[in-house]
């Protein structure tokens, strides 16, 4: 499935969240990641994110689509990061 993760995290936890998400997804913009995941990978990510955040201050949004072809993405201005395959 194709997943977009957007987060608003207190500054002292941002680097931990960013490093963790880079293990699974492509960083595309400040606080935004995207990529293809399996169901088990998504469950694993959700479980770990719940451990890393402070639920009273932090917010994470996860958008799931069946696959990337159902998403029309348009970039206005510069594209911050070139997408790469993660192995």
Quick one: tokens of 68? 């990337």
Distance CA 60, CA 6 (A): 6
Q: Give pLDDT, residue 84.
A: 54
Q: Does 28 have pLDDT greater than 80?
A: yes
Distance CA 47, CA 43 (A): 6
Confidence grade of residue 87 (pLDDT, cut at 50, 70, 90): very low
Residue with tokens 């169901």: 39
Is residue 10 left, alpha or beta, with left meaning phi > 0 and alpha meaning psi from -120 to 50? Answer: beta
Q: Give pLDDT, residue 82.
A: 65
Distance CA 60, CA 38 (A): 19
pLDDT 10s digits, 39-67: 999 999 999 999 999 999 999 999 999 87
């Amino acid at each position: 499935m194709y997943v977009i993760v957007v987060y608003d995290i207190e500054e002292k936890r941002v680097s931990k969240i960013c490093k963790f998400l880079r293990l699974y997804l492509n960083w595309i913009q400040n606080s935004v990641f995207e990529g293809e995941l399996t169901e088990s990978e998504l469950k694993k990510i959700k479980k770990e994110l719940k451990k890393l955040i402070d639920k009273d201050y932090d917010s994470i949004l996860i958008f799931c689509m069946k696959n990337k072809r159902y998403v029309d993405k348009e970039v206005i201005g510069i594209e911050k990061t070139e997408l790469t395959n993660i192995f």
